[in-house]
């Protein structure tokens, strides 16, 4: 990772030097470097949103992205009048919201050099929303720049991605993420190395694990699940506990937002005003409740997805031991420093090596691959709105089979 100053717009884009240089050339106005529509892709946690926000800020900055001026600060925070940041907490971005963005995109800049629209969840745009977005990208206003973000190009409608310049981010190395946690967040090297390895390149997840002991404890509890699936009853109980825990986590995360949104809506409708009889109040409140339920559903699904990710790392380690890809214990120096780039494959969950070795001895590589396939199937089931409890029960029953 380069030793950039903390105020540098690009400093948190660890391991993305090629992408940063491409964006800097576009900001500088080099020949054929700039275009009106960009599609930024990359695995979760690789920094898609950070790249998009940094690019938006640099486009407004009179010095090309100093990170210190008012234009940079307001662009990054969403307060700049010519930068619109869109990140949904719902399951999708509908056509009405896209039409609002299209109207905004057609406006001339009020202060900055460009009208910049950043859509951090372009993969969640509905089909009708995609139709509205396509027309705006095909016929852009002269100073408008669209920056769309998605996990992969295939997650965006083909007609839209074909009209965007694609910019693919890679998964940053564990060492780069650990170094970022140390200089940005002041995390101790051993904790930073452990969090980076556990997060597997997901910078946001690594930060949570490094700073939150409860998150580390929840992760450790998930890694203990495979060893506890000794009966049908144990599998069903574990599934129920996971779904309830995810629901509780979602409720805790959304409670404050829900209350603030309801209070704001009630104030707008005139609730509490003497003699006021708000029209259409019931319909407005019902619509808000439906939106909040959808958000809670997404938060719960995200929590379960983290469980599936941790289980995947567990069986990845088991398979690596079974196939001999990893044989010698991880050196203590590498375990505490995170410097494993030149030492070949290492266990993600080296702290539970004994447990992993027991699992490896009691199964076969073929069976472990079946477990990984079952996790993938569960993730796909959750994405297609299968009831979370049913999906998790099916998974844990599969993982516990043969014990």
Distance of alpha carbon 291 from alpha carbon 241, whole angstroms: 26
Average of per-residue pLDDT across 217-225: 95
pLDDT at residue number 258: 81
Q: Are 200 and 43 spatial neighbours (Cβ–Cβ below 8 Å)? A: no
Predicted model pTM: 0.76
pLDDT at residue number 181: 93
Average of per-residue pLDDT across 8-14: 84
pLDDT at residue number 287: 79
Res. 294 pLDDT band, cuts 50 70 90: confident
Helical residues (DSSP H) of 95-142, grouped into ranges: 95-105, 127-138
pLDDT digits (tens, 9 = 90+) for 149-193: 999 999 998 999 999 999 999 988 899 999 999 988 899 999 999
Structure tokens given for 156: 């965006």
pLDDT at residue number 4: 40
Distance of alpha carbon 169 from alpha carbon 14, whole angstroms: 10
Could you write out the DSSP letters of every residue in 280-336?
THHHHHHHHHHHHHHHHHHHHHHHHHHHHHHHHHHHHHHHHHHHTSS-SPPPHHHHH
pLDDT digits (tens, 9 = 90+) for 119-154: 999 998 988 999 999 989 988 888 999 999 999 999
Structure tokens given for 223: 């890694």
pLDDT at residue number 9: 86
pLDDT digits (tens, 9 = 90+) for 237-284: 999 999 999 999 888 888 888 888 888 877 777 776 655 556 677 787
**Torsion angles phi and psi, residue 149, rounded to 5:** -125, 140
Could you write out the DSSP letters of every residue in 42-96?
-STTSSHHHHHHHHHHHHH-TTS--SSSHHHHHHHHT-STTEEEE--SSS-B-HH
pLDDT at residue number 295: 82
Q: Are 371 and 315 spatial neighbours (Cβ–Cβ below 8 Å)? A: yes
Distance of alpha carbon 198 from alpha carbon 205, whole angstroms: 9
**Percent of the chain at pLDDT above 70?**
91
pLDDT at residue number 98: 92
Structure tokens given for 348: 């993600």
pLDDT at residue number 344: 64
Structure tokens given for 320: 């690596």
pLDDT digits (tens, 9 = 90+) for 70-85: 999 999 988 999 999 9
Average of per-residue pLDDT across 15-31: 92
Structure tokens given for 273: 């005003």
pLDDT at residue number 293: 85
Strand partners, 165: 38
SS3 at position 151: coil
pLDDT digits (tens, 9 = 90+) for 312-354: 999 999 999 999 988 755 544 444 444 444 456 789 999 999 9
Closest by alpha carbon to 28, among 1, 63, 67?
63
pLDDT at residue number 5: 42
């Amino acid at each position: 990772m380069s030793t950039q100053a903390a105020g540098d717009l690009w400093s948190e884009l660890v391991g993305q030097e090629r992408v940063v240089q491409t964006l800097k050339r576009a900001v500088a106005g080099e020949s054929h470097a700039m275009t009106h529509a960009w599609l930024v892709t990359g695995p979760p946690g690789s920094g898609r949103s950070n790249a998009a926000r940094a690019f938006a800020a640099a486009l407004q900055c009179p010095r090309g992205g100093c990170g210190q001026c008012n234009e940079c600060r307001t662009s990054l925070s969403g307060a700049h009048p010519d930068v619109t940041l869109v990140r949904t907490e719902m399951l999708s971005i509908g056509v009405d919201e896209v039409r609002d963005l299209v109207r905004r995109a057609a406006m001339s800049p009020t202060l900055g050099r460009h009208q910049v629209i950043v859509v951090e969840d372009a993969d969640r745009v509905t089909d009708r929303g995609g139709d509205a977005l396509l027309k705006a990208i095909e016929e852009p206003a002269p100073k408008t720049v669209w920056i769309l973000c998605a996990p992969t190009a295939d997650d965006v409608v083909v007609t839209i991605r074909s009209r965007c310049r694609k910019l693919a981010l890679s998964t940053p190395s564990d060492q780069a993420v650990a170094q970022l946690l140390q200089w940005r967040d002041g995390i101790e090297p051993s904790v930073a190395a452990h969090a980076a390895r556990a997060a597997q390149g997901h910078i946001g997840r690594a930060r949570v694990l490094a700073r939150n002991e409860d998150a580390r404890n929840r992760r450790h509890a998930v890694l203990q699940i495979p060893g506890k699936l000794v009966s049908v009853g144990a599998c069903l109980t574990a599934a129920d506990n996971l779904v309830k825990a995810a629901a509780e986590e979602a409720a805790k995360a959304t409670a404050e937002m829900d209350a603030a949104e309801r209070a704001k809506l009630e104030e707008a409708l005139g609730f509490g005003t003497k003699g006021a009889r708000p029209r259409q109040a019931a319909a407005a409140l019902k619509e808000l409740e439906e939106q909040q339920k959808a958000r809670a559903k997404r938060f719960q699904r995200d929590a379960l997805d983290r469980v599936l990710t941790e289980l995947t790392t567990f069986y990845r380690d088991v398979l690596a031991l079974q196939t001999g890809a990893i044989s010698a214990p991880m050196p203590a120096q590498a375990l505490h420093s995170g410097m494993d780039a030149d030492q070949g494959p290492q266990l993600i969950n080296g702290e539970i090596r004994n447990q992993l070795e027991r699992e490896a001895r009691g199964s076969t590589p073929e069976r472990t691959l079946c477990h990984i396939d079952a996790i993938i199937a569960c993730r796909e089931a959750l994405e297609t709105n299968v009831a979370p409890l049913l999906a998790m029960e099916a998974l844990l029953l599969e993982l516990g089979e043969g014990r």
